[in-house]
Amino acid sequence: MVAKLVLDEISSSGSGITIDSTKTFTVNGNLLSTGSTNILYKTIDHPIVEADVSGKSELIVTTTPASPRDITLPLVSVTGADTCIITVVVSLDATGTQSVRVMNGASEAWTGYQNGDFVKFCVSNGAWLVLDHKETMFSSRTLTADQSIAAGATTKIIGFTNVTDIGGVWDDANNKLVSPFAGIWDLNWRIGLGTVTGTGNVPILYAGGAMIYSPSNGTDGSGYNYGNNMSTLRIKVAASTDIEFYAHNIYNASAYSVGGNGSNESGFDGTFTRTY
């Protein structure tokens, strides 16, 4: 015979209520195991399974990057998945082409690169939904050598030296940033003089092959540019959108060079934030 006890409230005069270790306790059809949070550390690819989430309100997986390291979400039909928040955390800085990926079946759902990058998922309306995320995708480069811009010309700047590259967003062969996903770029493109004596050049930004920003121009009688040596912009883009760095020579009587050769001369910084 199965005993049944129906109560509205259980209280204890001690520190808590103990259930015999040989017995199980089920809430809403799911087995409640020791603790409400499960924390796993993985140095290999790991498909999340029922034992990881069943009876838990949250699963945290910390893992090291690889080429790539894959953590795979369970099917939403797996017991306990629809009531468990899943968080994946990068526990070590990636190098080279390394990363941590969260896979939803055969599809990439999130990618992180640096220690502390994370993503948090829950099941909503029968599918995995991103609740919160942080991923580091950043490129900083300086111009390697002076580049001459013809009178009145708008020319793409090429030949950059890497300062910092996280997330592999820079296409070195084609001198451009490539948007890894849909998201937002925060861009800073600056032109310095270096060893160049005067300049008539202003920094121009291109996205998807089209000019998206050109600063106002101020010149004197000799055609020199004043106070317009940096272009800054935040722009929302689709996945695979190219970001390119140009210079326009506002002086129509002579070529002028964009200064390279030094870390304090011409260069750019680009930070990418993924959107869902």
Query: Is domain 137-274 classified as CATH 3.40.920.10?
Result: no
In whole angstroms, give the CA distance from residue 4 to residue 236: 59
The residues spanned by each domain of the chain are 26-134, 137-274
pLDDT of residue 138: 97
In whole angstroms, give the CA distance from residue 229 to residue 193: 9
pLDDT of residue 140: 97
pLDDT of residue 261: 81
pLDDT of residue 254: 86
Which CATH number, 3.40.50.720, 2.60.120.260, 2.60.120.1230, 1.10.10.10, labels domain 26-134?
2.60.120.1230
| 26-134 and 137-274 agree in CATH topology | yes
pLDDT in tens, the chain (276 residues): 566 677 677 776 766 666 666 666 665 555 555 568 999 999 999 999 999 999 999 999 999 999 999 999 999 999 999 999 999 999 999 998 999 999 999 999 999 999 999 999 999 999 999 999 999 999 999 999 999 999 989 999 999 999 999 999 999 999 999 999 999 999 999 998 766 666 678 899 999 999 999 886 665 555 555 556 889 999 999 999 999 999 998 888 888 889 898 777 899 999 999 999
pLDDT of residue 80: 95
| Residues in Cβ contact with 120 at an 8 Å cutoff, skipping those fewer than 6 apart | 85, 86, 87, 130, 131, 132, 133
pLDDT of residue 250: 84
pLDDT of residue 262: 74
